[in-house]
Structure 1
């Protein structure tokens, strides 16, 4: 039979999914590897989706989503960031994953380069390869608090560099850009005339500091012509399987996005769009309760790790812990994580799944039941005193 396209073989396999699928073959596993909220969807969100199905609201919509959904996102964005977005710049997508891929598809030609964080979420490197483009990793160093360093970024820019992906709050690291660092990244992009693709999926979950939105900051500086923002309802509203995301794009992208959306998805399904309106416009009490739950889990988990003498990075956002297991992993944390899964029945994400700089670390999702989280962490090997 004919061969697959050559670029397919260059797409890295997700190390998270490899571990997760291995875990599904075992019994009595504590799942701490995947970013899946353990809280239920709020009743009013499910009711809105059900009402749409009951009313047979199952037809096509505009490529960017129905106007009430786009307006609901714009209102929520203004309430959170103080920036009034034109709803016409808001495009409903099949989760933030499609939003990221869609944006990269409009930014990159084959052979173009995009700067991606290392450690960084897996699809940041997978999507460019699917587009025959080249992800160029920028390392995030522990001695720089795992934050982007502009002087190191400068050395990576070539004539083929077209964009940089920035993720704050970070998955997997839990880092959060402050205003000074965010401005430095924007000025770097302006100097080199780069697009900035800002992944802000965890914007609602920061700990003891505000979320600084690159999307909002750029809107104030350029009218939104430098930064393209990717957002999602998956984590905030525990809607991971419902797949409602958003792309906030420059006004000039309107025609191109209509064409791209039609070619890729046509439109997001209508019941999910109604669920999204209910989530964004309805009572936010469940979001605040989820945040308290995750913060309580973080505090309990870090207390246990401190007691056991296991190093970790204290997160400023998102709901993950970045834990140092170099004392046990012998230079191959992916293999160690599989062995740990089989021996202890605890699934954790190997840090190397997020890039070479993650070697020796693991990511643990704290959006789990308190008992599962603490039991799983209690099974980690502690350093020898």
Structure 2
């Protein structure tokens, strides 16, 4: 019987999806584990897709996307991000997921190293392993405010290091890096001649501070930027994102787009045009909802004496439950799900630095969010403090 390619054994599974799939088999579960907006898709976005189907817009488009969408993205980047590009630097993708994988495929060869945040989104390491590259975690630790320690990060660079991945606003931390921090990362990449891959999926959701795109700090064309409409416009199932490249990559991008997806479905692209060119009110409403949820959630955690990272943005809350998990937060979250019927994401799914922490999604009905947080064990309490058997 033929075997899978050997390197596939090194691709880690998603600890979030595993827990989510268990939750789907249970009744009456409060699911706070998955980053799914709880806001509706705005009617003008839905109607744009329906109209495209009705008009028979179901054929191939250019690899990079329909001209109207690429122009809308160019205008949005200039207006909202301060990034000046031409349409040949904008490539419409099947969500940010494809954009991240595609960028890594352009920049990494087998055995090359990519510096990824720890804690960081699960697919960063998964993508690298699928490409036979090596994800090298750089720790985001409480003692440094969950921002990169530049000296520690620089010590990880080797002759095989090719890419520095930056994620702000952060999933899972909800941390938004300051312009000064981002400038130090761009300077580090320049010193060591690294590419920067910038994940900016949560760009519009900031509660404290402001979002800065690393490409605005780049003076020599080393930043690839990844964006998505999924979280911003509650379009997770519509699957539209985009990759913004430095100048000069149009030829190779046509080739890789053709090889990977050919193009994004036309009705989805029409929905994206409507989202980018329509009213910002749905985004503002969502931001206000997530910010109010965050405020209510941290007030409850303060009342119960549970430690957490104050969120700057995205729609996640990073909570310390190490007092209850016995050193194995993955097992604890499964027990918590089965016994308390609340699904939260184990911090260890995002890297070793996440041990003892959980990620809770703030994009939820507030009463359900607060009910889930009330079921967490408080320090010194007797609510589901799980004894984890010793290994072996």
Q: TM-score range by the shorter chain?
A: over 0.9
Alignment partner, residue 347 of structure 2: 351
Alignment partner, residue 379 of structure 1: 375
Structure 2, unpaired ranges of 5+: 382-392
**Residues 251-280 of structure 1: per-residue CA shift (max 9 Å, x gap):** 221111111111110000000000000000
In the TM superposition, what is the alpha-carbon distance from 1:7 to its structure 2 partner? 1.1
**Residues 87-111 of structure 1: per-residue CA shift (max 9 Å, x gap):** 2211000000100000000001101
Map 1:265-344 to 2 at 5 A: 265-344=261-340
In the TM superposition, what is the alpha-carbon distance from 1:207 to its structure 2 partner? 1.0
In the TM superposition, what is the alpha-carbon distance from 1:148 to its structure 2 partner? 1.1
SS in 2 for 1:135: strand
SS in 2 for 1:120: coil
In the TM superposition, what is the alpha-carbon distance from 1:77 to its structure 2 partner? 1.5
Alignment partner, residue 28 of structure 1: 28
Structure 1, unpaired ranges of 5+: none
Q: Distance in 2 between matches of 1:215 and 1:174?
A: 21
Alignment partner, residue 115 of structure 2: 115
Alignment partner, residue 254 of structure 2: 258
SS in 2 for 1:257: helix
Aligned residue pair count: 381
**Residues 32-74 of structure 1: per-residue CA shift (max 9 Å, x gap):** 0000000100000000000000001000011110111011111
Q: Distance in 2 between matches of 1:296 and 1:313?
A: 16
Map 1:33-182 to 2 at 5 A: 33-182=33-182
Conserved? CA contact 2:83–2:215, under 8 Å: no
Aligned Cα root-mean-square deviation (Å): 0.8
Q: Distance in 2 between matches of 1:68 and 1:239?
A: 19
Choose the corresponding residue for 1:369, options 340, 365, 368.
Answer: 365
SS in 2 for 1:251: coil
Q: Distance in 2 between matches of 1:266 and 1:295?
A: 38
